[in-house]
């Protein structure tokens, strides 16, 4: 690669950043220099006052210095050698002795090497004077130190070899060489670099201004230096001291508007005009007068030229700072335009925007093409997202779909990928979010020029960062949307009714099967107001559609929302149009910072229906058994009813007699009180019977097993009397509260009592005793029926609870089986065992229930 640096160079060096030094450093560069040196020397000889050797303006040294300034020191030897023949050719013509010629060659080279060497050493860009610092260093090295130092050697050589006075030579040479360096070196350097300036184009206004300046300089020079320069010019006598001041505005103009090089050029023009006028002067003035005047002019030009050169550099520096700032601002405006274009776009509209923004970036930077790649999901490939090419087709850059493997390899290592050839360059910058590789932005350029050229690669990196953040946003939004879509399709696919609740229990999403009545009415529905619906309200509105409208469900949901329960399930029946159906509510919390829960209602028809039917047939059977048990009691009940009825009859008859005899009302009241009492007794018997025979849904209520046991012992009281059985009751001192269905528990106790009496039928009456007892063994209440009958008579006591197991001729073997299912449905247990003595004991236990109220009527 040539030394020209494209935008791919990280930081192009200022010394080598211009292509114009190419020709200088090419093979023919030294030849051109030698020719220039030759003619420069010729001119120098013209501009002197013979017989003095020293010129008033000596261009060759400045020409050599300019070449050395623009070349790397390792190439200097070519230039130093190249100018030797030119030097010899000129000096021999003049007829100087060879020793002096060689000495002068050496001092000339010495001056150029010292000046350019110091400049190379001290300045970051020895060939440029566009900042005050660079200009000052150039003045110091090239304009002051080099001529001063080389002057000592030169004067010595001339004094020794040519016999001229040392200090005179030193002085003349100093004035001449400093002025030449100041006026010519910047102009020459600018000239060598002019192809690149011209290529960028000079605005017509500037060209006109430059022309005007030159014309003005020539006009002013003409007025001041024209033939009568050394005599009185066209000016009055009082103006004599101020002629040169006329030049000042023009020199200022040049510095202010055309920079340091401009001011040098103005100096050169002025000096050239003046010295030409002086040397060609054929007036009355003597040579020494002319030399005197020229020295004054030299001093004037040097003293005013040095600060003006600095001023020019300062102005140039300000202009380029302003321009850089302007460009920077423009670039930043571009960046913010590109970022802004992505900010409000939904991720699915971003692909189109990518292309438009690639165009903006590409057009601004003067690129041939820009391609945006994204890393594929398997991270194995780069996929083209969008591309733009300046020519509108693929000629400007690689074809779409192009993605060399090295591009991904470099990107994976978080490195830029660069290729350069004669046709242009390609730069792939990895796009990252943190450490994650998102894709690559590839810039394609045709030439080394990129707008905002100071640090083009940095700028392209900034552009890449904007695209990286847009791509990152798109990817995260896409992922979010995919997640949302997945969630809503999962929700939609659920056959149950599912609702998502927020922390306060309001429905924020529901699936298709969620009942319409439990949805938030549309915004145009009256009173809707865009409000959300609470879960409780939804259950209330959609009663009969499967949602649980019970306080229990509401409390469960609240508990999960409040975090006091990890989850909640509830099975519940619901009367729908198609009849009763069972559902299961399950509530699970939403694991997210905002909280909330998911409530799902699933139809549980099959299992529930089967369970329901089993329960119903159990109840039917239990009822049937109760009816048949009561049937067994008919005789004893008739007997029991007989007593109060007989007493009522006797009392009624007694009352009638007393009425006939003119009864004493007090006696009558007593008789009537007796009748009421007896009637109540009969009523109690009938109530117990009706209760037992009632058929209906089981109802859970608090029950005192003590009262319930007493009640049942009373019911079988007459039967026991008939059977000669004595029944004892030993109850727990405190109420033995359980929760359950009174009729069902009564049935269990009744069954145990009748079985106990049956078991003792074959024994003598004095052995027939039954003990009914309750005892509280926390957390349960135990109720036992102990008899002195046959005992269980077989090895497996639990067999008696099996259906259809009976030892009685007319038995069904269902009583204990039903009793067990009733007790277990109440969360209890029933068991039997032989006594230590004769007989068996049947016990059931139920969990202790609420200790408050007792069952009414027990
Ligand atoms: P059933 O009374 O119709 O036979 P049960 O299920 O009530 O049906 O009783 C089943 C069997 O258990 C009885 O036939 C009897 O053999 C036995 N059994 C029940 N209670 C007792 C008891 N207290 N003592 C001895 N055996 C009993």
Summarize pLDDT for 112-142 with one digit per residue, the tens.
Answer: 999 999 999 998 888 888 899 999 999 999 9
Distance from Cα 801 to the centre of ligand 1, integer Å: 8
- By alpha-carbon position, which residue is closest to atom 12 of ligand 1? 800
Pairing state of beta strands 726-730 and 769-777? Answer: parallel
Is the pLDDT assigned to residue 752 strictly greater than 90?
A: yes
Q: 741 CB contacts (<8 Å, ≥6 apart)?
A: 698, 699, 700, 701, 826
Distance from Cα 816 to the centre of ligand 1, integer Å: 7
Distance from Cα 100 to the centre of ligand 1, integer Å: 152
Quickly state the pLDDT bin for 6 (edges 50, 70, 90). very low
The CB of 262 under 6 Å from ligand 1? The reply is no
**Mean pLDDT in residue range 376-401:** 73
Closest CA to 777 of 845, 709, 851, 702: 845
pLDDT for residue 196: 65
**Mean pLDDT in residue range 171-176:** 86
**Mean pLDDT in residue range 662-668:** 79
- By alpha-carbon position, which residue is closest to atom 13 of ligand 1? 806
**Mean pLDDT in residue range 510-527:** 66
- How far is it, in rounded angstroms, from Cα 292 to Cα 270? 17
Is the pLDDT assigned to residue 732 strictly greater than 50?
A: yes
pLDDT for residue 790: 92
Distance from Cα 621 to the centre of ligand 1, integer Å: 17
**Mean pLDDT in residue range 37-41:** 91
Instruction: Quick: pLDDT tens for 343-368.
Output: 888 887 888 888 889 998 888 888 88
Is the pLDDT assigned to residue 646 strictly greater than 90?
A: no
What is the best residue among 755, 790, 817 to mutate for testing ligand 1's pocket, by most ligand atoms within 8 Å of CB? Answer: 755
- Structure pTM? 0.52
pLDDT for residue 700: 84
Quickly state the pLDDT bin for 757 (edges 50, 70, 90). very high
pLDDT for residue 856: 38
Distance from Cα 835 to the centre of ligand 1, integer Å: 15
The CB of 833 under 6 Å from ligand 1? The reply is no
Of the segments 213-222, 643-652, 805-814, which one has the largest average pLDDT value?
213-222
Quickly state the pLDDT bin for 235 (edges 50, 70, 90). low
pLDDT for residue 202: 78
Instruction: Quick: pLDDT tens for 59-79.
Output: 999 999 999 998 889 889 999
The CB of 704 under 6 Å from ligand 1? The reply is no
The CB of 125 under 6 Å from ligand 1? The reply is no
Question: Angle, nearest 10°, between helix axes 166-200 and 59-69?
Answer: 50
Quickly state the pLDDT bin for 231 (edges 50, 70, 90). low
The CB of 841 under 6 Å from ligand 1? The reply is no
The CB of 427 under 6 Å from ligand 1? The reply is no
The CB of 754 under 6 Å from ligand 1? The reply is no
Is the pLDDT assigned to residue 847 strictly greater than 90?
A: yes
Burial 237-274 (b: 16+ CB within 10 A, else e): eeeeeebbeebeebbbbbbbbbbbbbbbbbbbbbbbbb
Q: 512 CB contacts (<8 Å, ≥6 apart)?
A: 492
The CB of 759 under 6 Å from ligand 1? The reply is yes
User: Within a 10 A sphere around the Cβ of 697, how many other Cβ atoms?
Assistant: 7
Instruction: Quick: pLDDT tens for 423-455.
Output: 778 888 999 888 888 899 998 887 655 544 445
Nearest atom in ligand 1 to the alpha carbon of residue 810 is 3
pLDDT for residue 840: 95
State whether residue 397 is helix, strand or coil: coil
Higher confidence at residue 587 or residue 684?
Answer: 587
Distance from Cα 755 to the centre of ligand 1, integer Å: 6
Higher confidence at residue 829 or residue 849?
Answer: 829
Distance from Cα 718 to the centre of ligand 1, integer Å: 21
∠ Cα 437 475 373 (to 5°): 55
**Mean pLDDT in residue range 308-332:** 90
Is the pLDDT assigned to residue 20 strictly greater than 50?
A: no
Tokens 């997210």 belong to residue: 592
Nearest atom in ligand 1 to the alpha carbon of residue 787 is 23
Average pLDDT, the chain: 82
Distance from Cα 213 to the centre of ligand 1, integer Å: 137
Quickly state the pLDDT bin for 855 (edges 50, 70, 90). very low
Instruction: Quick: pLDDT tens for 252-289.
Output: 999 999 988 899 999 888 888 887 777 665 554 566 67
Distance from Cα 812 to the centre of ligand 1, integer Å: 9
Distance from Cα 420 to the centre of ligand 1, integer Å: 105
State whether residue 801 is helix, strand or coil: helix
Q: What is the DSSP string of 75-110?
A: GHHHHHHHHHHHHHHHHHHHT--HHHHHHHHHHHHH
Burial 809-839 (b: 16+ CB within 10 A, else e): eeebebbbbbbbbbbeebebebebeeeeeeb
- How far is it, in rounded angstroms, from Cα 32 to Cα 79? 10
**Mean pLDDT in residue range 693-719:** 85
Q: What is the DSSP string of 41-76?
A: HHHHHHSB-TT-SSBSS-HHHHHHHHHHHTS-GGGH
The CB of 807 under 6 Å from ligand 1? The reply is yes
Is the pLDDT assigned to residue 626 strictly greater than 80?
A: no
Pairing state of beta strands 436-445 and 424-433? Answer: antiparallel
Angstrom CA distances, 626 to 684, 686, 814, stand at: 18, 15, 11
- How far is it, in rounded angstroms, from Cα 148 to Cα 152? 7
Is the pLDDT assigned to residue 17 strictly greater than 50?
A: no
**Mean pLDDT in residue range 222-246:** 65
pLDDT for residue 399: 59
Is the pLDDT assigned to residue 558 strictly greater than 60?
A: yes
Instruction: Quick: pLDDT tens for 582-597.
Output: 888 889 888 888 888 9
pLDDT for residue 25: 66
pLDDT for residue 9: 34
């Amino acid at each position: 690669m040539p030394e020209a640096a494209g935008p791919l160079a990280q930081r192009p060096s200022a010394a080598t950043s211009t292509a114009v030094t190419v020709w200088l450093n090419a093979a023919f560069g030294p030849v051109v220099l030698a020719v220039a040196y030759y003619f420069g020397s010729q001119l120098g000889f013209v501009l002197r006052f013979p017989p003095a050797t020293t010129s008033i303006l000596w261009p060759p040294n400045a020409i050599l210095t300019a070449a050395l300034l623009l070349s790397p020191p390792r190439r200097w030897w070519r230039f130093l050698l190249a100018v030797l023949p030119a030097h010899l050719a000129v000096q021999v013509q003049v007829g100087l002795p060879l020793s002096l010629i060689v000495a002068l060659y050496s001092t000339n080279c010495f001056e150029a090497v010292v000046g350019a060497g110091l400049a190379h050493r001290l300045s970051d860009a020895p060939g440029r004077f566009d900042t005050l610092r660079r200009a000052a260093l150039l003045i110091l090295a090239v304009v002051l130190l080099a001529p001063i130092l080389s002057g000592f050697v030169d004067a010595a050589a001339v004094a020794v070899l040519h016999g001229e006075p040392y200090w005179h030579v030193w002085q003349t040479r100093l004035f001449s060489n400093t002025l030449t360096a100041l006026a010519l070196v910047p102009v020459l350097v600018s000239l060598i670099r002019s192809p690149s300036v011209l290529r960028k184009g000079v605005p017509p206004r500037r060209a006109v201004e430059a022309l005007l300046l030159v014309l003005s300089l020539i006009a002013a020079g003409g007025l001041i230096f024209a033939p009568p320069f050394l005599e009185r010019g066209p000016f009055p006598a009082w103006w004599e001291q101020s002629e040169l001041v006329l030049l000042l505005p023009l020199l200022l103009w040049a510095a202010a508007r055309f920079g340091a090089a401009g001011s040098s050029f103005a100096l050169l023009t002025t000096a050239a005009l003046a010295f030409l006028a002086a040397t060609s002067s054929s007036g009355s003035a003597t040579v020494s007068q002319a030399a005197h005047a020229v020295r004054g002019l030299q001093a004037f030009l040097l003293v005013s030229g040095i600060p003006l050169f600095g001023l020019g550099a300062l102005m140039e520096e300000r202009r380029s700072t302003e321009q850089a700032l302007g460009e920077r601002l423009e670039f930043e405006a571009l960046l913010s335009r590109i970022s802004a274009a992505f900010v409000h776009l939904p991720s699915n509209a971003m692909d189109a925007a990518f292309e438009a923004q690639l165009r903006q970036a590409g057009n601004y930077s003067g690129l041939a093409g820009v391609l945006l790649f994204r890393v594929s999901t398997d991270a194995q490939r780069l996929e083209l997202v969008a591309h733009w090419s300046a020519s509108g087709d693929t000629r400007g850059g690689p074809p779409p779909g192009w993605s060399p493997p090295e591009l991904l390899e470099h990107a994976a290592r978080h490195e830029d990928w660069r290729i350069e050839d004669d046709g242009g360059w390609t730069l792939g910058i990895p796009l990252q979010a943190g450490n994650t590789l998102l894709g690559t932005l590839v810039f394609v350029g045709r030439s080394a020029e990129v707008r905002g050229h100071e640090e083009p690669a940095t700028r392209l990196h900034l552009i890449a960062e904007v695209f990286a953040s847009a791509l990152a946003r798109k990817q995260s939004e896409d992922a979010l949307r995919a997640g949302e879509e997945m969630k809503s399709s999962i929700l939609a696919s659920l056959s149950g009714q599912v609702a998502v609740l927020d922390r306060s229990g309001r429905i924020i999403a529901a699936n298709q099967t969620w009942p319409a009545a439990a949805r938030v009415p549309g915004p145009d529905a009256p009173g809707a107001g865009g409000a959300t619906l609470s879960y409780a309200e939804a259950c209330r509105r959609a009663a009969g559609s499967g949602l649980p409208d019970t306080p229990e469900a509401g409390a469960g949901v609240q508990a999960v929302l409040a975090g006091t329960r990890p989850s909640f399930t509830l099975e519940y029946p619901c009367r729908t149009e198609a009849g009763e159906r069972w559902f299961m509510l399950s509530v699970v919390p939403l694991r997210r910072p905002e909280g909330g829960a998911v409530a799902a209602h699933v139809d549980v028809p099959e299992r529930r229906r089967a369970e329901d039917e089993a329960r119903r047939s159990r109840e039917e059977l239990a009822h049937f058994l109760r009816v048949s048990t009561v049937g067994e009691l008919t005789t004893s009940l008739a007997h029991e009813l007989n007593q109060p009825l007989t007493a009522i009859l006797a009392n009624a008859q007694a009352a009638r007699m007393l009425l006939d005899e003119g009864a004493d009302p007090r006696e009558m009241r007593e008789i009537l009180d007796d009748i009421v009492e007896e009637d109540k007794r009969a009523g109690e018997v009938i109530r117990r019977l009706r209760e037992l025979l009632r058929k209906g849904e089981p109802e859970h209520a608090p029950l005192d097993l003590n009262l319930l046991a007493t009640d049942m012992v009373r019911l079988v009281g007459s039967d026991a009397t008939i059977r000669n059985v004595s029944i004892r009751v030993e109850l727990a001192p405190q109420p033995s509260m359980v929760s359950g269905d009174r009729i069902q528990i009564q049935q269990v106790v009744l069954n145990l009592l009748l079985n106990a009496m049956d078991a003792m039928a074959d024994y003598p009456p004095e052995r027939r005793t039954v003990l009914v007892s309750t005892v509280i063994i926390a957390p349960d209440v135990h109720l036992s029926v102990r008899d002195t009958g046959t005992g269980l008579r077989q090895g497996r006591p639990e067999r008696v609870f099996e259906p259809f197991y009976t030892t009685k001729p007319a038995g069904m073997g269902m009583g204990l089986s039903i009793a067990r299912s009733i007790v277990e449905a109440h969360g209890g247990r029933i068991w039997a065992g032989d006594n230590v003595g004769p007989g068996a004991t049947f016990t059931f236990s139920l969990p202790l229930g609420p200790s408050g109220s007792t069952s009414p009527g027990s």
